[in-house]
Structure 1
Amino acid sequence: MKNWKMTTLSLAVLTLLTACGNTDSDKAGVDEELVVSTFALSEDVIDRDIFQPFKKDKGIELVYEVGNSSERFTKLQNNPNSTIDVIELSQANAATGMEEGLFEPLDKTKITNLANLVDGAKDAVETSGAPYTMNSIGIIYNKEAAGMEINEWSDLWDPSLAGKISIPDITTTFGPAMLHVASDFKGVDITSDNGEAAFEALTELKPNITKTYTKSSDLANLFQSGEIVAAVVGDFAYPIISEANPDVAYLVPESGTYANFNTLNVVANSKNKKLAYEFINWKLSQELQTTTAKSLNEAPTNKDVELNDEVAANKTYGGIAKRAKAIDYTFVNSHLEKWITTWNKTLNQ
């Protein structure tokens, strides 16, 4: 699932996994092979929980390459005729790939589990592919140090928080989500004015911002040193920050949040699209997502997955998932270059 976990991981060589016994190979009738491009994360767990059951069920061989989203996406851009059948990417990269025609438009009749996605995930299918896990942003803060209760996004604009908060930089995973939050603060749909109201809101928020961050792990030190009392952050970062700073709490405002998805797509030049579709359907299944929620810490996108409180903690799940809105990364990517320039002029000068 997650692009935030793989920034330091380099692209690995293709790893060939053997088929699961002669019986399974005979069942296939032919020597079929599926090539998957995936994240370089907990490969032993991914092999055990995802690849091996699929191989056993289909009686196939499976080849996979690993790396971070940007690395693997750039590789596919440079060689669209590669042997990759199905690719897992961050939402932003997936949206660019769809725009460039690198992926086949998903045939929903071949992915029955698309019908079981939570609403926010359904919204992302047309622009980014099939979402199989998600995270979202919330507010982490030290109530005692803040001297106030924070419940909503609008509270971040409170003058009493002058010089005490941090927000994600525009170039990070949740930078575009922060722009959406700012536009909401002004009561404006960001797609209606291409972000103008959002930057007005950020100008108003600037006195409260002591620093924008590029690594959520840096927030632990900022809280520890007392430089900040609150921050906008992805839910995946809460355990790291709270471990170092047990006085902080995490909340997702009732007004809603914005989700980031990792998605799956069938590569346009795939030679085995049938298996690619079946693999995507497997990744979206209730059975598998119940398993990976625990073993890979992936928040499920299948609405039928039920997690206990321990497994669900700090994930975009349940009520939070229901109020998590999707971001149109086709729209974001078309404005991002200009937004980065405006962001730097607004907040970094």
Structure 2
Amino acid sequence: MLKKKIGLIIALSLVMLFITACGQSQKTLTVSTFKTSAKQEQENIWKNFDEKYDLKIKGEFGTEDERLENSKTGIDVIELTQRYAVRGNKQARFKKLDFSKLKNFKLLSKEQQQIARKTNSIPYQISVLGVAYDVKQIEQFYSWNQLWDKRLEKHLAIPDISTVFGPEMLYIAQGHYQRKQVTSVFVDNGLIDANPTFSELKKLRPNILKTYEDPKNLIKMFQSGKIDVAVVSNEIGEKIQKNNENVRYVLPNEETYLSYKMAAILNDGQSKESYRYLDYLIKANKDNLKKNSTFENVRKIDYTFLNKHLTNYTKQWNEIIE
């Protein structure tokens, strides 16, 4: 009887050790990402990555400012827009990447590889800025200059300067000014000449009905006829077009404005799966990343310059727009 009890205890102990070992064997990875795209990323990236490598991704969400400030709280990988990736790298929040550990790094274009090396983060998705417009009100939209058309008075929506593409409105205003200077030669150095830029923004003000932070309401605003034109990313523009047969989404003929979503490994990241995740992001988005070669006249944006002056630009923006 005693031998049976001892044998049972040993068997139970082995079972418990096995269960504990199994519980400990599942690897984890904590990713700080965009709240607006969390559902899509969980379905398209995280689920497949979890299953392929037998681990569990934990998500952290919030604004980019919040997430960058809280980047010392046990998070492994952080996903940011290009502007914030430049800021995070300058603040030395990212680990220096060893690109030899990324077998899919070769899938990036030379330009994308250069961006990665400069920011210690990898570009994994392209967003491009365009225009959604109501074809019942506007026959054709082909130029950024049309945003200043007086017929759009109180019928235009633009991104707030605090959003991903908000600062690009300054570059659009600058481009509008430059196109009016017939005898001048424009040097695309990624900088902003503030005086003419904000002068053009002031001229645009009568047309602006809404500056948006969350683009969700734009679908309803088009349907109700409150707005006829909105400056939006391709993801939002295509969604609006899908939900309204009268709306078309286009990229104006002049300069193109694009921005990358970036992923970096944080200094305090502990997971050994971080490099594997970055590598997976590149491969999963390789078709999207190839789009960079299809865009012409891509406007250069110096994000270091922009970050340095953005507080002052935001103040001037608010004085005009509010």
TM band (smaller chain): 0.7 to 0.9
Gaps of 5+ in 1: 1-21, 291-298, 304-315
Say which of 89, 94, 98 aligns to 1:107.
98
Structure 2 SS opposite 1:175: coil
The alpha-carbon deviation at position 33 of structure 1 amounts to: 4.6
TM-score normalised to the size of structure 2? 0.75
Is 1:172 the counterpart of 2:163? The answer is yes
Q: Is the contact made by 2:174 and 2:193 (CA closer than 8 Å) also made in structure 1?
A: no
Equivalent-residue separation in structure 1 for 2:217 and 2:96 (angstroms): 39
* Alignment CA distance shift 1:327-1:69 (3 Å): farther
- Larger RCO: Structure 1 or Structure 2 (Cα < 8 Å, ≥ 6 residues apart)? 2
The alpha-carbon deviation at position 323 of structure 1 amounts to: 5.5
**2:285 alignment partner in structure 1:** 289
**1:346 alignment partner in structure 2:** 320
**1:116 alignment partner in structure 2:** 107
Q: Is the contact made by 1:91 and 1:260 (CA closer than 8 Å) also made in structure 2?
A: yes
* Alignment CA distance shift 1:243-1:300 (3 Å): closer
Is 1:248 the counterpart of 2:247? The answer is yes
One-letter code of the match for 2:288? P
Equivalent-residue separation in structure 2 for 1:100 and 1:234 (angstroms): 28
* Alignment CA distance shift 1:180-1:120 (3 Å): farther
Is 1:143 the counterpart of 2:135? The answer is yes
Equivalent-residue separation in structure 1 for 2:110 and 2:173 (angstroms): 23
Say which of 79, 93, 98 aligns to 1:88.
79
Q: How does 1:228-307 map to 2 (within 5 A)?
A: 228-271=227-270, 275-285=273-283, 288-289=284-285, 300-301=288-289, 303=290
Q: How does 1:18-37 map to 2 (within 5 A)?
A: 33=27, 35-37=29-31
Say which of 57, 63, 68 aligns to 1:73.
68
TM-score normalised to the size of structure 1? 0.70
Is 1:334 the counterpart of 2:308? The answer is yes
**1:182 alignment partner in structure 2:** 173
Is 1:64 the counterpart of 2:62? The answer is no
* Alignment CA distance shift 1:240-1:284 (3 Å): closer
Deviations 1:197-247 (A, max 9, x none): 321221222232233222212222332232321111111112442354320
* Alignment CA distance shift 1:160-1:119 (3 Å): farther
The alpha-carbon deviation at position 104 of structure 1 amounts to: 1.9
Q: Is the contact made by 1:257 and 1:323 (CA closer than 8 Å) also made in structure 2?
A: yes
Farther off after superposition, 326-335 or 251-260: 326-335
Q: CA RMSD in A?
A: 3.2
* Alignment CA distance shift 1:143-1:32 (3 Å): closer
Q: Is the contact made by 2:124 and 2:282 (CA closer than 8 Å) also made in structure 1?
A: yes
Equivalent-residue separation in structure 2 for 1:85 and 1:49 (angstroms): 19
Structure of larger gyration radius: 2
The alpha-carbon deviation at position 335 of structure 1 amounts to: 1.5
**How many residues align structurally?**
287
Equivalent-residue separation in structure 2 for 1:152 and 1:122 (angstroms): 31
Gaps of 5+ in 2: 1-17, 179-185
Q: Is the contact made by 1:134 and 1:262 (CA closer than 8 Å) also made in structure 2?
A: yes
Structure 1 SS opposite 2:264: strand
One-letter code of the match for 1:65? G
Equivalent-residue separation in structure 1 for 2:165 and 2:85 (angstroms): 16
Equivalent-residue separation in structure 2 for 1:326 and 1:193 (angstroms): 11
One-letter code of the match for 1:300? N
Percent identity of paired positions between Structure 1 and Structure 2: 27
* Alignment CA distance shift 1:33-1:48 (3 Å): closer
